[in-house]
Chains A and B, each alone.
Chain A
Amino acid sequence: MTTSVLPDDTVLASGVLAGQEWVTIRREDLRDSMRALKAQGFESYLFMTCVDHLATPVVEKPPERFELVYQLRDMRAHREYRVRVFIPENDATAPSLHDIYAPANWDERETWDMFGIAFEGHPDLIRILMPDDWVGHPLRRDFPVGGEPVDFSEDHETWQTAPPEA
């Protein structure tokens, strides 16, 4: 049932996990591959997100720290497809897909906001969920789960300092 939808030379790894197909490709092939997938019927873009693999205990370590995950769906063939791209920490950029899949626009803003991945070619890459003046990217694993020590003290200096046990 699993038929390869991308040319073999772009696929770094592929598999099926819990009945869900996935494929890993190179960052430089991302735009071409997504265009090819859209032409093949994967017209519905479900979401894109990032996974931070910092200090992962997994034995088979992921090749890079950040992993972008795109989930696509072919609504006619009832088929879903997951595309993974690994992004190195020292060059946290990726090509923007906003012109191929329109909903990628907000997802890329969110990923920039939360993980600090810069999307090249994005028309308006600004924070979407956090306040404009926020420092740091909260969903990175090295960003502590902190909080405001006193309720609504409006003390901006202490907002982002986590308790030592966090």
Chain B
Amino acid sequence: MADTKIDQTPKPPPPHAGEGRGGGDQSSLAQGITITRTPRHGIEGDLLTVNFGPQHPSTHGVLRLVVDLDGETIRRVKPVIGYLHTGIEKQMEALRWQQGVVITDRHDYLSPPINNLAYALAVEQLMGVEAPARAQGLRVIMCELTRIASHLIWLGTSGIELGAMGIFMYCLRDREKIMDLNEEISGFRMHTSYIRPGGVTADATPRFLELLDRFIREMPSNIDQYEDLLTHNPIFQERTQGVGHLSAEDAIRLGATGPMIRGSGLPWDLRKDRPYCGYETYDWEVAVEAGCDCYARYLVRIKELRESVRILRQALDRLPTGPVNVDDRKMLPPPREELETSMEAVIHHFKLFTEGYSPPTGDVYVAVESGRGENGCYIVSDGTHKPRRVKFRSASFGNLQALEHMSLGHILADFIAIIGTADTVLGDCDR
């Protein structure tokens, strides 16, 4: 903020200056920052209202934050969201149950398989089916790979925001390998739509297993590299230690989940506490740090990277053999070769792709642990082939509400670190 200069010439307010309600003169600055002098009086004189975003580089998407400053000290934060709202829940209602999987990829665009999983588990629970053992193993593999990819993006971008430019390249280098793995198993690099109700779209190829094995062997030393760059870096520690304090009680009260509460010393992880996909059978530990600050949340994510690698190793070593989809012709299409010989298979195929399937009436809520916290899916079926309601409980939506509590009393420069460690994905938040 050192090079910003307040232009005092009065200008007409922009048409949608939502926060301009308080009056005062507005002026535009470079980089999309608008500054309004509010006539209210702060603790030590006038409060200055600064508008962050929505196109600010450190807002991790299209987030707008209206910040009231007293000097450089933050006195009030008001997140303004909705810039990435894409009507995902409305679209889900217009699609058949099996088509909705493709939409679930797109709300938290950094962890598509985890979103798929929440939806698939909800539909399966409503229909009373369970995916076969090999599908469960592949689901765990894909979810842990995605968690690593998501944490790597977070680590890289947060590093850049705090001035550590180098780490971004290391993170992206390793994320690229995960993208290759996605491509190998599903054909898509980002929006894989890999996990679907009843199983997964395709079995793992030998090349996938080979690449995965190499990835697991390389990853621990790569994580050491990230730690060499940041963990004991005095500048990084100075910027994050003691910044953005969030106690465990406040985290629960404000609806924060995931690394936010684990960084406050609360060992709550849905994979451990409400296990799904057989997570209870793997040997791993919940990453917890008691620091309650940005540095603790950083350490939690680094530990989670290591634990994910540990789960991946076990999942790969004992990946069961067998089918990857439930043997239910009412839910999943028959194999291609059956279509040439079996009339029954043709009928099932036709019914499935024209009408789809209809789960019984009812509603169910399933929550899974994404890289950001609790990503849940609440579905309501009215017994037809399209959902009556699909609601995503997104971790970013909850975590963002704790932002004001964490940043009050800090200076504006620390605010960047706090936004960073909240790790919000705005597509997830706005859905």
Complex interface: stretch among B82-90, B97-105, B306-314, B338-346: B82-90
- A74–B247 Cα distance when bound, in Å, is 18
- Interface flags for A1-36 (1: CB within 8 Å of B; 0: not) read 000000000000000011110000000000000000
Chain A to chain B: the 7 pairs with minimum beta-carbon distance, closest first: A103-B255, A47-B393, A129-B82, A129-B85, A49-B391, A145-B94, A51-B389
Residue in A44, A58, A105 whose CB lies within 8 Å of B361: A58
**Does residue B316 face the partner (Cβ distance < 8 Å to A)?**
no
**Does residue A164 face the partner (Cβ distance < 8 Å to B)?**
no
- A78–B269 Cα distance when bound, in Å, is 12
Nearest CB in chain A to that of B367: its residue: A46
**Does residue B252 face the partner (Cβ distance < 8 Å to A)?**
yes
**Does residue B125 face the partner (Cβ distance < 8 Å to A)?**
yes
- A102–B253 Cα distance when bound, in Å, is 6
| B253 surroundings in chain A (CB, below 8 A) | 43, 102
| A42-56 interface (Cβ within 8 A of B) | 43-47, 49, 51-53, 56
**Does residue B274 face the partner (Cβ distance < 8 Å to A)?**
yes
The answer to whether A17 touches B376 (Cβ under 8 A) is no
- A132–B388 Cα distance when bound, in Å, is 27
23 A-B residue pairings within 8 Å (CB atoms): A18-B126, A18-B364, A44-B252, A44-B255, A45-B255, A46-B376, A47-B376, A49-B391, A51-B388, A51-B389, A57-B382, A58-B382, A69-B363, A103-B255, A106-B397, A106-B401, A114-B89, A127-B82, A129-B81, A129-B85, A129-B431, A138-B87, A145-B93
Residue in A47, A56, A106, A129 whose CB lies within 8 Å of B382: A56
The answer to whether A102 touches B254 (Cβ under 8 A) is yes
| B337-382 interface (Cβ within 8 A of A) | 361-365, 367, 374, 376, 378, 380, 382
- A83–B387 Cα distance when bound, in Å, is 21
**Does residue A160 face the partner (Cβ distance < 8 Å to B)?**
no
The answer to whether B378 touches A49 (Cβ under 8 A) is yes
The answer to whether B378 touches A20 (Cβ under 8 A) is no
The answer to whether B255 touches A102 (Cβ under 8 A) is yes
**Does residue B205 face the partner (Cβ distance < 8 Å to A)?**
no
The answer to whether B16 touches A132 (Cβ under 8 A) is yes
The answer to whether A46 touches B393 (Cβ under 8 A) is yes
Given contacts A46-B374, A103-B398, A106-B401, A52 and B389 within 8 Å (CB-CB): yes
- A114–B274 Cα distance when bound, in Å, is 30
Residue of B365, B367, B384, B401 contacting most chain A CB atoms (<10 Å):
B365
CB distance from B382 to the nearest CB of A (A): 5
Classify chain B: how many residues form its interface, as a range.
35 or more
Given contacts A18-B362, A51-B389, A71-B365, 19 further A-B contacts (CB under 8 A): A18-B126, A43-B252, A49-B391, A51-B363, A53-B388, A69-B378, A71-B376, A78-B274, A102-B255, A102-B401, A103-B255, A128-B81, A129-B431, A131-B16, A132-B16, A138-B87, A139-B89, A145-B93, A145-B94
Q: How many A residues have CB within 8 A of the partner chain? A: 39
Chain A contact residues, CB within 8 Å of chain B? 17-20, 43-47, 49, 51-53, 56-58, 69, 71, 75, 78, 80, 82, 101-103, 105-106, 114, 127-132, 138-139, 141, 143, 145
Nearest CB in chain A to that of B79: its residue: A106
The answer to whether A20 touches B254 (Cβ under 8 A) is no
- A129–B18 Cα distance when bound, in Å, is 14
The answer to whether B90 touches A105 (Cβ under 8 A) is no
Given contacts A17-B362, A69-B363, A145-B90, A78 and B273 within 8 Å (CB-CB): yes
| A141 surroundings in chain B (CB, below 8 A) | 93
- A80–B254 Cα distance when bound, in Å, is 18
CB distance from B398 to the nearest CB of A (A): 6
CB distance from B224 to the nearest CB of A (A): 34
The answer to whether A20 touches B365 (Cβ under 8 A) is yes
| B280-309 interface (Cβ within 8 A of A) | none
